[in-house]
Amino acid sequence: MTPAQFLLILRARYRIALLLLLLTVAAALVATLLSPKTYKATTALVLNYKGSDPVTGQAMASQLLPGYMATQIEIVGSMSVALKVVDALRLAEGALVKQRFLDATDGAGNVRDWVAAGLLSKLDVVPARESSVLQISYTGREPRMAAQVANAFASAYQQTSVQLKVEPSQRTSVYFNEQVKLLRNKLEVAQQRLSKYQQDNDIVSTDKSLDVESVRLNELSSQAVVAQGQAMEASARQRQAQGSGGAQSPDVANNPLIQNLKLGLGNAESKFADVAQRLGTSHPLYQSAKAEVDQLRSELKRQLRVTSNAVSANAAILQQRRGEAAAALQGQKNKVLQLNRTRDELNVLGREVDSAQRAYDTVAQRLTLTNIEAQANQSDVAVLTAALAPLKPSGPKVLLNLAIGVIAGTLLGLGGAIMLELFDRRVRSAHDLDIAGLAVLGTIKRVPAAHRLARWPDFGRSAANRIAG
């Protein structure tokens, strides 16, 4: 169908199209006037724009997600929230409501669910643009009831948001309680092992005990070095005292008694030499001087032996002291090594205790935080503007319904005209004959009525002249 054909059909059947348009508009108007008035109440809620938990103060990453607002809209429009509204307003307890439920469902299902579904069908949840404000709107036939339902949905949504946050924390709290008990037992076992090890090894304070023994080891090491030096020196002096009759020994040479004896012996030998030159061997002075020299020489030898023996005894004492110092040093080394091994084992047990303590403290801290969250009844949703009973109805909208009626009537009129044309085809142009396969011999143009009336007198006179001739 070409646009020209469509215009010709519409021109021929405009009365039908106009009639259908008027009837549709009239029906829309009547339906609008007969429809009951509806009232729309809106409650504005603001979500926690700070993005932090009001109890713990921790950042709430869920509010930063792109689908957070969409999730909250779904929660508001959920059946659980609607059931809370039904229970809060006692909407399912009236006899009239129960009778309507029986008439609508023949008793199938639950009256609470039926009422909640009816509330959700009239609920509209819209988020504000680029903000954390959520608008909950409910449309009802009574202004006061519409405001009550809207406010009830807001309150039920707050309760549900708290419930959704508290219930996981409560389940997590139970888990953490069990973990805290296990970690406490592990900590107690580790502490008992550490205490028993200290008691078995007589360790009161590991650090102090190890420091004292280390100081003593250093002292014994110094004493052993000194004793070793003294023993070596005494051995050298002993060899000098025993060799060459002790003449090269400083201990013998520096002995005052020996020096006096040597001096006396020298004097006696000088005196004896002088007497020996003047007197004979049988002279009493000669024998007396010789006896004195022999006595001094004998005493000098005896003192030399005594001094050498003293040096040897001192060397033996110093050798013994060196051995004792070395033995004490070795014993102290073994003790320090044993203490080091004991300390290493004790450090391992101490690290186990520290690890168990850190694990226990971490879980206990998390448990405390979880318990606070589980007992919190604060919501991160606040009522910004409570719904009030609207003064003017929100529907039905007369102008909107009439505009819809006009559009629908126009489409219906055009469709009706086309349908009538399909059932009752007429030839309205030469193109229709071409489609039917008929030859067109000629076309007669339609002359407007004004033109026909203007040309009628000339046509009459010319026809009368032809008859008279």
Q: What is the pLDDT of residues 52-65, one digit of tens each?
A: 554 555 555 455 55
Q: What is the pLDDT of residue 215?
A: 73
Same-domain status, 257 and 391: no
Distance, CA of 69 to CA of 75 (rounded, Å): 10
Residue 191 lies in a domain: no
Residue 128 lies in a domain: yes
Residue 442 lies in a domain: no
- Min mean pLDDT across 75-84, 107-116, 395-404 is at 395-404
Final residue belonging to a domain, choices 375, 401, 434: 375
Beta bridge partners of 47: 381
**Amino acid at position 432, single letter:** D
Q: What is the pLDDT of residue 431?
A: 65
The residues near 359 (Cβ < 8 Å, ≥ 6 apart) are 183, 186
Q: What is the pLDDT of residue 463?
A: 43
Beta bridge partners of 14: none
Q: Is the Cβ–Cβ distance between 43 and 382 less than 8 Å? A: no
Distance from the first to the final alpha carbon of the chain: 52
Q: pLDDT grade, residue 344 (50/70/90)?
A: confident
Same-domain status, 123 and 247: no
Final residue belonging to a domain, choices 375, 393, 428: 375
pLDDT digits (tens, 9 = 90+) for 359-392: 989 988 888 888 877 776 777 788 889 989 888 8
Same-domain status, 16 and 145: yes
Same-domain status, 367 and 296: yes
Q: What angle do CA 326, 330, 333 make, to 5 degrees?
A: 140
* Distance from chain centroid for Cα 14: 73
Q: What is the pLDDT of residue 152?
A: 94
Residue 448 lies in a domain: no
Q: What is the pLDDT of residue 271?
A: 77
Same-domain status, 264 and 340: yes
Q: What is the pLDDT of residue 120?
A: 92
* 265, pLDDT greater than 90: no
Q: Is the Cβ–Cβ distance between 315 and 234 less than 8 Å? A: yes
Residue 68 lies in a domain: yes
Same-domain status, 269 and 361: yes
Q: Is the Cβ–Cβ distance between 73 and 124 less than 8 Å? A: no
* 409, pLDDT greater than 80: yes
Q: 10 Å Cβ neighbour count for 284? A: 8
Answer with the residue of higher pLDDT: 45 or 380.
45
Average pLDDT over residues 115-129: 90
Q: What is the pLDDT of residue 319?
A: 76
Same-domain status, 123 and 26: yes
> Which residues constitute the domain of residue 308?
206-375
Phi, psi for 416 (deg, rounded to 5) = -65, -40
Distance, CA of 325 to CA of 316 (rounded, Å): 14
Same-domain status, 249 and 339: yes
Q: Does the pTM of the predicted model rise above 0.75?
A: no
Residue 155 lies in a domain: yes
Q: Out of 62-71, 214-223, 231-240, 250-259, give the one with best mean pLDDT.
A: 214-223
Answer with the residue of higher pLDDT: 458 or 123.
123
Residue 106 lies in a domain: yes
Proportion of the chain above pLDDT 70, given as a percent: 72
Distance, CA of 362 to CA of 384 (rounded, Å): 39
Average pLDDT over residues 19-44: 85
Same-domain status, 225 and 165: no
What's the domain count of the chain? Answer: 2
Q: pLDDT grade, residue 154 (50/70/90)?
A: very high
* Residue 381 parent element (H or E): strand 381-385
Q: What is the pLDDT of residue 150?
A: 93
CA dihedral 51, 54, 56, 60 (to 10 degrees): -20
Structure token pair of residue 345? 């084992």
Q: 10 Å Cβ neighbour count for 241? A: 28
Q: What is the pLDDT of residue 86?
A: 92
| Average pLDDT value for the chain | 77
Same-domain status, 246 and 160: no
Residue 114 lies in a domain: yes
Q: What is the pLDDT of residue 109?
A: 82
> Do β-strands 133-140 and 39-47 pair in parallel, antiparallel, or remain unpaired?
antiparallel
pLDDT digits (tens, 9 = 90+) for 267-318: 777 877 777 777 777 777 777 877 877 787 777 677 666 766 666 677 777 7
Structure token pair of residue 175? 């888990």
Same-domain status, 136 and 48: yes
Decide: residue 24, CB within 10 A, 0-12 exposed, 13-18 middle, 19+ buried: buried
Q: Which residue has the tokens 């025993």?
A: 242
Same-domain status, 155 and 9: yes
Distance, CA of 111 to CA of 132 (rounded, Å): 35
pLDDT digits (tens, 9 = 90+) for 183-208: 999 989 988 888 888 788 766 655 55
Q: What is the DSSP letter of 40?
A: E
Q: What is the pLDDT of residue 455?
A: 53
Average pLDDT over residues 332-342: 77
Q: What is the pLDDT of residue 469?
A: 47
